[in-house]
Chains A and B, each alone.
Chain A
């Protein structure tokens, strides 16, 4: 049954205006005009918001305390750009690896296998419990805590021992520490998404003989993405700024590199503004990206 055949009976002589909501009555000559709900309050609110915004922007731009000259001076210095680069690089890797690991953890947590389930539960518990600062210090000081790592019979003799001092450089430590931490949080975000998908979907996929991974990748995850993307966007942006914790192990991210400058020059406000502007720029790009990802996963609903 083709839905729009070329010549179908059209019992009403009304003009063709399917786009605009023009209401007509056969007997009347002119259709009445549609007046949308009056939104006086809405417009007033919009005006107030814009005015407040203008005031805020004005007060920021003209406020001398912000020292825009200093901001401009430091905005693209090599040290700041290096910090930015490190922040971006670290964020991208941590986020990607963290979510891969997190998805595996979420699936393990929801599987029927009790071993997988409890290992995943334990992992999430442990890494959510421990402050990331402590985790980073643990890894960087692994030499102090375990002067040597041995391969051998547990509680028995060891065959091979490795001195752990200097095993891991600060960057490696930052990457490992943040990723393991991120994965625990990512696991919960993914699990939340998976929970929101109707069980019938899994059953339908099972009845079609789709394997476990295929079901996950093709049927459940894409539907879960609607619920996953917004908190994942949170995590991405949180990680972007959270990487600054690595400054305790002397890795210079964006925030730390401006802090180093103002510890020397005491120009705290303008230098924090430098970092803030960079963060805002990157966040804006990421927010835009999030918008498109959401649109992609909502495509089957969009024109509904």
Chain B
């Protein structure tokens, strides 16, 4: 029995168990401080569907040895481009949503291709370079959001009459298009966004299948031992390039998924903050810079978003002051630091 527990602990990793227990504790204490458990659960599930794909997008690059994609913003920008164009073309519902995704994939392929070429030149320092690529691409797009000749009255600045707003409502277009698909209610306060969850599951499945194909396993080989891969006749650079493009495309889909659930498209500086929570979630899920699995993605999103939504509301109701934000920062980042110091234990098992 003890051994079995030991095995489970080793398998999941102690940090995750502790964080999971902490999350459970938060949920359990919710009713005592006047926070509804059902709405909290609802929020966590919704956030799983919203953020899952963005975190998933990190996987191909880690697998191919390109490290954590701190340049996620590039994918996000592709997604944003797809989204605003679909709005400009006045498409609604499923049609609009999938048009946005289709367009985004095209942009993501182009950006990802260029980005991949750059990253191939900087093996070993991908993460640092990616961070700055992310920053500068966001600023670059800031210029274009202002200049591009969008005309839709829903999107342009009120006083200036030109250029895109910082936040654009998608309510009249494809708000919750996917989440409402087959969605059902449990009780009065939980709505399961079936469509969103299914879509996330589908993408996870596709990624899973992909890494079982010939190209996928070649990519893993490149990631774990490039020299060996090369000697087996695998084109290392091409594999890395494909993984970067793939990551960028999934990120583009991820942000559109995020927006349809969020209700707003956020332009300008907003993408800057997209990479960090995704990376943090993945690390919290037990991944490391060079090793990752789909399990890490799902556990990571669940724990990270769970803590993100639960801590402020519980602490708020507990102490009724703005101090809750300071405590949230301490708890959630402290847990991530903790996970980082411990993840070597998982790797050994």
A joins B in a complex: no
| Chain B residues with a Cβ under 8 A of chain A | none
